[in-house]
């Protein structure tokens, strides 16, 4: 069964995440891109529709991690989704102050299943607000959350599988022309900066504060 999350920090992270998802869709709909994100490398990357499968697996990746951590490790859940929420907050701020878009999408789609899935995806998803890529940033935050969690401390197979899945998701964004390579690199940078803040700076600060509060409490006894 799920943890009872009433008055829990996990609930706060869930509510923040849901709010940010809604905010992203609003921003993505309202704000038009102004700056075209493009690299010469993008023209060298082929359009490979089958990569729409790992791209869509991103949603399953989030859901499965959500369920496992909520059941097995409240700390891992909070740290991972705190990272994801920070990824989204920073990305949305960038989208607002630096409205960007990409023009890499194909103009004609083949009739095969995977090409039509890409067409369906891109009809419903604006080409604006692409840099940094949240698909990339959140995937890496999920992987790092799994890597550092007590749930999979001694499970190298799960860590390896999620690493491969993360890599596939990241490269899928350029192979189906959802993102420029620039977006991917920006997404990687964003997730690593957030990871250092959450797992190193904030965690050490919290640990130091908790120890200080504990010492103060013992001194008053």
pLDDT at res. 202:
63
Q: Say if 126 falls within a structural domain.
A: yes
pLDDT at res. 4:
52
pLDDT at res. 203:
59
Q: Say if 15 falls within a structural domain.
A: yes
Q: Say if 147 falls within a structural domain.
A: yes
Give the residue, 211 or 63, on which the prediction is more confident. 63
d(CA 47, CA 105): 9
When divided into structural domains, the chain yields a total of 1
Q: Say if 120 falls within a structural domain.
A: yes
Task: Fill in the DSSP letter of residue 43.
Answer: G
Among the listed residues 61, 41, 58, 32, the one whose alpha carbon sits nearest the alpha carbon of residue 177? 41
Q: Say if 167 falls within a structural domain.
A: yes
Write the burial class of residue 199 (CB in 10 Å: 0-12 exposed, 13-18 middle, 19+ buried).
middle
Q: How far is CA 24 from CA 13, 14, 115, in A?
A: 16, 15, 26
**Tens digit of pLDDT for each residue in 119-175?**
999 998 999 999 999 999 999 999 999 999 989 988 999 999 999 999 999 999 999
**Tens digit of pLDDT for each residue in 17-54?**
999 999 999 999 898 899 999 999 999 999 999 999 99
Among the listed residues 49, 58, 59, the one whose alpha carbon sits nearest the alpha carbon of residue 105? 49
Q: Say if 62 falls within a structural domain.
A: yes
Partners of 135 in the β-ladder:
none
Q: Say if 220 falls within a structural domain.
A: no
Q: Where are the alpha helices (DSSP H) in 31-112?
A: 52-72, 74-97
Sign of CA dihedral 15, 16, 19, 21: negative
Give the residue, 201 or 155, on which the prediction is more confident. 155
Q: How many C-beta atoms surround the C-beta of residue 196 within 10 A? A: 11
Q: Say if 156 falls within a structural domain.
A: yes
Residue 38 belongs to what domain range? Answer: 9-213
């Amino acid at each position: 069964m799920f943890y009872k999350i009433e008055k829990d920090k996990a609930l706060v992270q869930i509510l923040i995440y849901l709010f940010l998802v809604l905010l992203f869709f609003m921003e993505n709909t309202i704000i038009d891109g102004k700056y075209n994100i493009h690299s010469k490398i993008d023209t060298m990357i082929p359009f490979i529709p089958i990569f729409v499968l790992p791209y869509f697996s991103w949603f399953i990746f989030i859901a499965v991690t959500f369920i496992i951590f909520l059941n097995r490790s409240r700390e891992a859940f909070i740290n991972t989704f705190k990272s994801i929420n920070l990824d989204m907050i920073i990305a949305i701020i960038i989208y607002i102050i630096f409205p960007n878009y990409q023009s890499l999408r194909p103009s004609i789609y083949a009739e095969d299943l995977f090409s039509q899935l890409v067409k369906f995806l891109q009809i419903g998803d604006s080409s604006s607000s692409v840099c940094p890529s949240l698909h990339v940033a959140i995937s890496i935050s999920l992987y790092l959350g799994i890597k550092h969690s007590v749930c999979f401390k001694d499970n190298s197979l799960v860590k390896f599988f999620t690493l491969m899945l993360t890599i596939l998701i990241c490269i899928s964004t350029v192979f189906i022309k959802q993102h420029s390579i620039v977006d991917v690199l920006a997404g990687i940078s964003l997730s690593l900066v957030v990871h250092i803040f959450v797992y190193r700076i904030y965690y050490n600060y919290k640990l130091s504060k908790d120890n200080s509060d504990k010492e103060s409490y013992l001194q008053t006894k």
